[in-house]
Amino acid sequence: MAGAQTNRLDNGGLIDRSAPLNFRFDGKTFQGFQGDTLASALVANGVKLVGRSFKYHRPRGILTAGSEEPNALVELRTGARREANTKATTAELYEGLEAASQNRWPSLRHDVMSVNQLFAPIFVAGFYYKTFMWPAKFWEMIYEPAIRRAAGLGRAAIVADPDHYDKAWAHCDVVIAGSGPAGLAAALAAGRSGARVILCEEDFTLGGRLLSDGGTIDGLPAAEWLTRTLTELASTPDVRIMTRTTLFGVYDGGTYGAIERVNDYLPTPPEHQVRQRLWRIVAQRCVVAAGAIERPIVFAGNDTPGVMMASAMRTYVTRYAATPAKRIALFTNNEDGWRTVETALAAGLQVAAVIDARPDVSPAHRSLASRNGFTVLHGSVSGVDGGKDGVRKIAVSLTGGARAEVEADGLAVSGGWNPAVGLTSYHRGRPKWRDDISAFVPDGAPPGMAAAGAANGDFGLGACLSQGFATGAAAARDAGRNGNAGAAPIADDEAFSLTPLWHVAGKGKAFVDQQHDVTASDIELAQREGFESVEHLKRYTTLGMATDQGKTSNVAGLAIMAAVTGKSIPETGTTIYRPPYVPVAIGAFAGHHRDETFHATRLTPSHHWAAEQGAIFVDTGLWKRAQWYPRAGEKDWLESVTREVKAVRSGVGFCDVSTLGKIDVHGPDAGAFLDRVYINTFSSLAVGKARYGLMLREDGLVYDDGTTSRLAEDHYFLTTTTAKAGLVMQHLEFCRQVLFPELDVQLTSVSDQWAQFSIAGPKTRDLLKEIVDPAEDLSNEGFPFMGAREVALRGGIKARLFRISFSGEMAFEISVPARYGGAMARNLMQAGKPFGVTPYGTEALGVMRVEKGHVAGPELSGTTTAADLGLGKMMSTKKDFIGRVMAGREALVAPDRQVVVGIKPVDKARRLRSGAHIIPKGQTPGPDNDQGYVTSVCFSPTLDQWIGLGLVERGRERIGEIVHAHDPLRGEDYDVELCNPVFYDPDGGRQRG
Amino acid sequence: MSNSAIPSSTIRMEDASVAEFSWDIRSPIERALVVGPYGALGEAGVSLTEIRNFDLVQVMARRGKAAEMTKPAKARFGVAAPEMPKAVSTADATLIWSGPDQFFVLSKGGKHTTEALVQTFASSASLSDQSHARVLISISGPKGRMMLAKLSSIDLHPDAFPAGAAATTSMDHTSVTLWRGNDRPDGQAVFNVLVFATFAESLWHTMLDSAAEYGVEIGHSEDLA
């Protein structure tokens, strides 16, 4: 079959006959040319049937030649790249293109589900609401899956999209949507004025209707003027022309969304290139020159393949040299439709008849008809005889009541034009009705936006050019660009006369929304059932809710509703317009952010060293942290973690704790500042000392904790938890700038400046002596618990050493500038070799903190007070601090609050799990006697059993009590004992030793 | 402390058991950065160069001492510190605005260390060493702006962002300091990005992804241009 382009003209068209392209549709091979869309190539091959309809599985053809297409939707490409609901009318043809029709089985020509048509009486408006009401549980299990199989559009690819998408910003003075005569004239004017211009055109070829309708501009044929204009624009500085790019949305502050289909015209994007790119265009002014959409007239059988918009038929014949039919009829209510007859005759097609709904037809048209031997019928099309092979006969109701029949294989329809009012209406602008063109035109456009030409309801070529030019010049001026725009291009306006006609009564289904199979009678039914408001009408019938968002159907639907309610169309009103103007792939919104690049990743200074050691990493916020370091032969994580804990408790280990937030607090008032943000006092801290600090929120609940050291009179080094690092920095900046501007204090995040390691275990000092300059005194007297100072290391660099312990062991934290982080890890391994040094991860860190009863994230949950955590005595009574007053509220000091307590299972062999609820022994679990829950658990290698921390009502008064742990999530019930939360070395001798 | 000086390893003779320690410096993106071409073949559209040897000091005026802070700055650098989002370059330092009454001193390793600047500013400013807290990436090439348009919401048109313009902004949800340096001898614009060290490898990969279609020339240099 390839090569048999039966419906291709020998000459003309913007196609390259020297560049044939093979493609497949529903498994059959065809040939088209470079410059074709899939739709035009199908037309050229005489293919009329391209899909089955959503609900009734009716055969459908190609209705339009643009992004408003409701019917010709295909699954484009195969496998992981399969893209459902792609409009054949905008899909650019490429060599090897594969497309399949949708919503049919087993084949497009023999579709089993077309029996749905026989049940049409029940598939009326509100069908789902009426039919599947009960039993309710049937919906999820039975009704919905069945409906989804029977009714629907294309299939998603299911597997991950192998292609890449990205996002970019662009900035300009004037952004223009559309490159038809109005858009090009606007670009000329704005560009000549010196403005930075971005012109977006969704088509792959610039020119808009000029490509299909031609004309004479400045005395030149349209094609010549177009070439001259594009040459000028290409040489104008700061004019950027973006084809294959649809401006789809308007956002705050003059930001516009646009989708560029960068490589959709190729089977696969070239290496390193993206398929699509999402643009955020920031512009001072926007000119909407998006044109107008020709509207159908609703009549019985108007969805038969071969019925096509008159302007689309001109596009296929003129732009693509492809003839949708051999013998056409035209049904029009306006002058513009007649241009299709002229185009068809020029292309050598037969014209069977023109059915004109207006009372008068011009003498020129009458003479055209008589010269070319076709009849002009006054009346309307009332029915179409045809099917999946296309139109055969057209029934006509003549004015005065008589009937006629026309034999034709194609029917061009023109019901007038609707300006594309989407963009101008996205900020709740309501378009206004214009009687002279019987259409809505833009009104209440977002600030900085103006429509021009057909998009503004002025359809003539001359008007498009002059209005586009004036709007472009004004936009440039408003943006402060005042260069000489020169003269506007000049052309004549075509005649435009229209007699409104929306719906022709007749037998058989007359479709308003072809994509969602909404008929004129559905709208009448919705009105009878009380769904008169346009928003109700839309949702009850699904009119305008398909992927085309009702571009060809909304106004006709409103008109029919207006007719049955006896209101005018403007009284009936329009529904709210919302972006996007065309469907945009979710992949484009995600851009780079998918899979491992879903979010930015932070790596610790020793990350690559840890990776070399085979560490298992855990995601902690944005961080990757070493969770444990498995060794050969270890059967699971617990075995590795247990080994790491035992190694620390009996020898020495180290852990990268650089993820803690670190803040330099500088200035003469640094101490006073910290006194106000912490519950305890820091102004009295001696230089060279560290102190544990706790911060509250304004509401009196605990915010964060950490150790803060005083390195100099006017310099503190504050640490935060990993999770709250950024938030605490923001909080402190707020305190500094807003709450306490009188204090002389300066804050800088130094989280990334320092690589910080915790070194813990009884042999810590032995290890440190190897690495720290021997001149430094590390003895208990020379460097006591909670000491903090700079020390020299062997090899000539300096470090900060803090004698603090999270593990409960003799421990230090050591900081070096971050680029030494890898070297520090290697040197600790080397220095610690004689002592069996063991790197440990966050799991061992967590085990040791639970053994030691230290609170962490699960206890600092945003619901606990300092007293709940057992830290109430830290709250200074000698000063004010953030949260002090609110912490005194009745409920926050109530004696029956849930407080931190230790928990161990009565059956020593039992595993604990966090989240289990604590119930008094002997009571039936329930919300009335729920006394708290288990917050943190671990297997303690030191105690050789599972232990945990919990928040339990009056917990500290109940040490030794046996209570019940109820875990409905995992179906577990067992007894536990409340105990001292400090399981290990309760008097702290080890960390001070 | 400069982020590039490599202290020599030592063996203390007075303590025979002491091992030898080498404190080699590693840039946070040393592993991710592979010198040479990347992405599309042909003439590279984007050149990405990591600058490895620099001192970076955050200078913040103490309360009410913004005016007082300008004098020692002028005396030391010969130029006024920027009071709005600008970067001012001298022979051996670049002063980059980083917020109201604060700026960065970026200098070739060892020239203007925190220790040296503490003397200069005395009690007029608080100083914080950021030499290890940031990675410095220099971006140029004919497609440099195209690539940056994928990362930054800032208008980098020559009229809107001339040489010396600076911004405290974000790229790929990551805080950065961005400024335009002096043009290259061939006239190409140069954009410099300081990114937090722990985010740097992640942003580096995003940069490569964004630039791959234009072809990338990847390199690193010890010296600030």
Percent of chain A scored above 90 by pLDDT?
Answer: 91
Same-domain pairing of A105 and A141: yes
pLDDT digits (tens, 9 = 90+) for A489-507: 999 998 889 999 999 998 8
Contacts of A797 in chain B (CB under 8 A): 1, 7, 23
The type of residue at A233 is: L
Residues in Cβ contact with B38 at an 8 Å cutoff, skipping those fewer than 6 apart:
B208, B211, B212, B215, B216, B217, B218
Return the closest-CA partner of residue A500 out of A691, A294, A357, A714: A357
Contacts of A238 in chain B (CB under 8 A): 157
Tokens of A746: 């300066």
Q: B29, B63, B121: which to substitute to probe chain A, counting the most A Cβ within 10 Å?
A: B63
Cα separations in angstroms, A295 against A44, A78, A311, A522: 24, 33, 10, 19
Task: Report the pLDDT value the prediction gives residue A108, as an integer from 0 to 100.
Answer: 80
Return the closest-CA partner of residue A819 out of B183, B136, B84: B136
Task: Please list, residue by residue across A398-422, b when 16 or more beta carbons sit within 10 angstroms of its beta carbon and e when fewer do.
Answer: eeeeeeeebebbbbbbbbbbbbbbb
For residue A387, what is the domain's CATH number?
Answer: 3.50.50.60
Give a yes or no: residue A968 inside a domain: yes
Residue of A nearest to B213 (CA): A272
Cα separations in angstroms, A534 against A58, A520, A523, A575: 27, 14, 10, 6
pLDDT digits (tens, 9 = 90+) for A687-737: 999 999 999 999 999 999 999 999 999 999 999 999 999 999 999 999 999
Find tokens 């984007």 and name the residue. B46
The type of residue at A196 is: R
Identify the bridge partners of residue B37 per DSSP, sorted by sequence position. B217
Tokens of A608: 């690559």
What does the alpha-carbon distance between residue A407 and residue B142 come to, in Å, rounded to a whole number? 62
Please report the number of interchain residue pairs, chain A to chain B, with beta-carbon separation below 8 angstroms. Answer: 179
pLDDT digits (tens, 9 = 90+) for A564-612: 999 999 999 999 999 999 999 999 999 999 988 999 999 999 999 999 9
Same-domain pairing of A6 and A113: yes
* Cβ–Cβ below 8 Å for B198 and A752: yes
pLDDT digits (tens, 9 = 90+) for A376-432: 999 999 999 998 999 999 999 999 999 999 999 999 999 999 999 999 999 999 999
ipTM of the complex: 0.94
Same-domain pairing of A67 and A107: yes
> What is the residue-averaged pLDDT of chain A?
94
- Each as own residue / partner, the long-range contacts of residues B157-164 (CB below 8 Å, 24 or more positions apart, any chain) are B157/A171, B157/A196, B157/A238, B158/B189, B160/A171, B163/B189, B164/B86, B164/B87, B164/B88, B164/B89
Residues in Cβ contact with A28 at an 8 Å cutoff, skipping those fewer than 6 apart:
A1
Contacts of B31 in chain A (CB under 8 A): 608
What is the least distance, in Å, from the CA of B75 to any CA of chain A?
23
* Cβ–Cβ below 8 Å for B202 and A664: no
Task: Report the pLDDT value the prediction gives residue A105, as an integer from 0 to 100.
Answer: 72
Give a yes or no: residue A597 inside a domain: no
CATH 3.30.1360.120 residue ranges for chain B? 36-52+133-221
For A938, other C-beta atoms within 10 Å of its C-beta total 23
Given pLDDT bands bounded at 50, 70 and 90, which one contains residue A452?
Answer: very high
Same-domain pairing of A692 and A790: no
Q: What is A884-902 written as a DSSP string?
A: TTGGGSGGGG-TT-EEEEE
pLDDT digits (tens, 9 = 90+) for A75-117: 999 999 999 999 999 999 999 999 999 877 778 888 777 777 7
Mean pLDDT value across residues A672-692:
98
Same-domain pairing of A279 and A169: yes
What does the alpha-carbon distance between residue A679 and residue A666 come to, in Å, rounded to a whole number? 20
Whether A440 and chain B come into contact, CB under 8 Å, resolves to: no
Tokens of A136: 């309710």
Hey, what's the torsion of the CAs at A132, A136, A137, A138, to 10 degrees?
-20
Given pLDDT bands bounded at 50, 70 and 90, which one contains residue A1?
Answer: very low
Q: CATH topology for B54-129?
A: Alpha-Beta Plaits (3.30.70)
Q: What is A73-87 written as a DSSP string?
A: EEEES-GGG-EEEEE
Burial (0-12, 13-18, 19+ Cβ within 10 Å), A596: exposed
Same-domain pairing of A231 and A348: no
CB A610 within 8 A of CB A656: yes
CB A13 within 8 A of CB A318: yes
Nearest residue, CB atoms, B150 vs list A167, A171, A600 = A167
Residue A368: left if φ>0, alpha if ψ -120 to 50, beta else—which one? Answer: alpha
Q: Outline where chain B has alpha helix (H).
A: 66-77, 114-121, 144-149, 197-211
* Cβ–Cβ below 8 Å for B173 and A600: yes
φ and ψ of A788, to 5 deg: -155, 115
pLDDT digits (tens, 9 = 90+) for A219-258: 999 999 999 999 999 999 999 999 999 999 999 999 999 9
CB A809 within 8 A of CB A764: yes
Task: Report the pLDDT value the prediction gives residue A774, as an integer from 0 to 100.
Answer: 94
What range defines the domain where residue A681 resides?
661-749
HEC-encoded secondary structure of A444-509? CCCCCEEECHHHHCCCCHHHHHHHHHHHHHHHHHHCCCCCCCCCCCCCCCCCCCECCCCECCCCCC
CATH architecture of the domain with range B36-52+133-221? 2-Layer Sandwich (3.30)
Cis omega (within 30 of 0) for bond into A986:
no
Same-domain pairing of A180 and A124: no
Cα separations in angstroms, A857 against A626, A704, A854: 18, 9, 10
CATH 3.30.70.1520 residue ranges for chain B? 54-129
The bridge status of strand B46-51 relative to strand B134-140 is: antiparallel
Specify the length of chain A in residues: 993
For residue A79, what is the domain's CATH number?
Answer: 3.10.20.440
For residue A671, what is the domain's CATH number?
Answer: 3.30.70.1400
Give a yes or no: residue A874 inside a domain: no
Task: Report the pLDDT value the prediction gives residue A113, as an integer from 0 to 100.
Answer: 72
What does the alpha-carbon distance between residue A544 and residue A331 come to, in Å, rounded to a whole number? 24
Mean pLDDT value across residues A549-556:
94
Nearest residue, CB atoms, B9 vs list A167, A795, A831 = A795
* Cβ–Cβ below 8 Å for A743 and B63: yes
Same-domain pairing of A711 and A824: no
Nearest residue, CB atoms, A827 vs list B1, B21, B209 = B21
Percent of chain A scored above 70 by pLDDT?
Answer: 96
Find tokens 């335009």 and name the residue. B180
The bridge status of strand B125-129 relative to strand B134-140 is: unpaired
The bridge status of strand A962-967 relative to strand A972-979 is: antiparallel
Tokens of B49: 């160069």
Residues in Cβ contact with A86 at an 8 Å cutoff, skipping those fewer than 6 apart:
A73, A74, A75, A76, A99, A154
Same-domain pairing of A8 and A154: yes
CB A265 within 8 A of CB A276: no
Same-domain pairing of A451 and A558: no
Return the closest-CA partner of residue A183 out of A286, A39, A74, A294: A286
Contacts of A597 in chain B (CB under 8 A): 202, 205-206, 209
Cα separations in angstroms, B111 against B3, B50, B115: 12, 19, 10
Give a yes or no: residue A618 inside a domain: yes
Q: A263, A596, A819: which to substitute to probe chain B, counting the most B Cβ within 10 Å?
A: A819
Give a yes or no: residue A798 inside a domain: yes
HEC-encoded secondary structure of A562-602? HHHHCCCHHHHCCCCCCCCCCCCCHHHHHCCCCHHHCCCCE
CB A284 within 8 A of CB A448: yes
Give a yes or no: residue A86 inside a domain: yes
Task: Report the pLDDT value the prediction gives residue A106, as an integer from 0 to 100.
Answer: 73
pLDDT digits (tens, 9 = 90+) for A516-531: 999 999 999 999 999 9
* Cβ–Cβ below 8 Å for B7 and A602: no
Q: Report how many domains make up chain A.
A: 7
Same-domain pairing of A371 and A429: no
Give a yes or no: residue A839 inside a domain: yes
Mean pLDDT value across residues A665-685:
98
Return the closest-CA partner of residue A383 out of A411, A363, A356: A411
Nearest residue, CB atoms, B3 vs list A196, A746, A817 = A817
Contacts of B28 in chain A (CB under 8 A): 603, 605, 818-819
Same-domain pairing of A197 and A324: no
Whether B186 and chain A come into contact, CB under 8 Å, resolves to: no
CB A131 within 8 A of CB A56: no
For residue A810, what is the domain's CATH number?
Answer: 3.30.1360.120
Return the closest-CA partner of residue B163 out of B220, B88, B111: B88
What is the least distance, in Å, from the CA of A750 to any CA of chain B?
7
What does the alpha-carbon distance between residue A885 and residue A1 come to, in Å, rounded to a whole number? 86
Give a yes or no: residue A177 inside a domain: yes
CB B166 within 8 A of CB B179: yes
Residue B36: left if φ>0, alpha if ψ -120 to 50, beta else—which one? Answer: left
In chain B (225 residues long), the average pLDDT of successive 10-residue segments reads: 54 47 94 97 96 96 95 95 95 95 92 94 95 98 98 97 97 95 95 98 97 97 79
Given pLDDT bands bounded at 50, 70 and 90, which one contains residue A863?
Answer: very high
pLDDT digits (tens, 9 = 90+) for A31-41: 999 999 999 99
What does the DSSP 8-state code read for residue A236? S
What does the alpha-carbon distance between residue B79 and residue A555 come to, in Å, rounded to a whole number? 66
CB B52 within 8 A of CB B222: yes
Contacts of B9 in chain A (CB under 8 A): 795
What does the DSSP 8-state code read for residue A328? E
For residue A540, what is the domain's CATH number?
Answer: 1.10.10.1100
